[in-house]
A and B are shown apart, each in its own frame.
Chain A
């Protein structure tokens, strides 16, 4: 069974631009969560989508948004990029998003804002 796929793997953008990251979950998984990881920090939760609906949202500004399609693939968008948005962005899929099942992570997208 294919794992969680994130594209692109690496991205360099300029301040003020916007960026869209993609995540294809494991087949049959309906929950997709997005995380930001910066050096020295734990994974910071961005949002979770389940069946095309945002179910949970972390404490990030409105510049960070996402959506989920009917095939469970998810995209995350960051507008008006800032230098501090440089990070590894991970997505994780889960059959239902319930707490008693493990999350499966993609390899991440490394975003560098210059």
Chain B
């Protein structure tokens, strides 16, 4: 993988359901993996920054895992709420400290 890829591109989830999506990134020269939430008409906000293989981070109902050997990260949202509707971006940083961004997963929570 040469670029950062996110899947799916968009996702409709019923309120209360749990969901997850994927970020794939180049595993060579890996330095850090960032997750951001971008709500409409707002600025992207950081969710997690992860660096270690096997790392798992949690913030409320949102959690993320990291596998640097195979080059993927999962973002999980438990019990989706309408306020979770946003585009979720991941970015991989290599040893040159340059962030390469995925195109994002647009999450829409249906009430």
Q: Interface residues, chain A, CB within 8 Å of chain B? A: 3-4, 33, 35, 40-45, 48, 55-56, 58, 90, 92, 97-108
Nearest CB in chain A to that of B6: its residue: A42
CA distance A102 to B44 in the complex (A): 11
- Whether the Cβ atoms of A105 and B44 lie closer than 8 Å is yes
- Whether the Cβ atoms of B44 and A48 lie closer than 8 Å is no
Count residues of chain B with CB under 8 A from any CB of chain A.
Answer: 23
- Whether the Cβ atoms of B100 and A45 lie closer than 8 Å is yes
Q: Does B26 contact A (CB under 8 A)?
A: no
Interface centre among A40, A90, A102 (most CB of B within 10 A): A102
Q: How far is the CB of A36 from chain B (nearest CB, A)?
A: 11
- Whether the Cβ atoms of B43 and A108 lie closer than 8 Å is yes
Contact of A42 among B32, B51, B96, B102 (CB under 8 A): B102
Query: Which residues of the partner chain A approach B51 to less than 8 Å between Cβ atoms?
Result: 99-100
Q: Does B49 contact A (CB under 8 A)?
A: yes
Nearest CB in chain A to that of B43: its residue: A105
Query: Which residues of the partner chain A approach B43 to less than 8 Å between Cβ atoms?
Result: 3-4, 90, 104-108
Query: Which residues of the partner chain B approach A90 to less than 8 Å between Cβ atoms?
Result: 43-44
CA distance A90 to B38 in the complex (A): 12
- Whether the Cβ atoms of B96 and A56 lie closer than 8 Å is yes
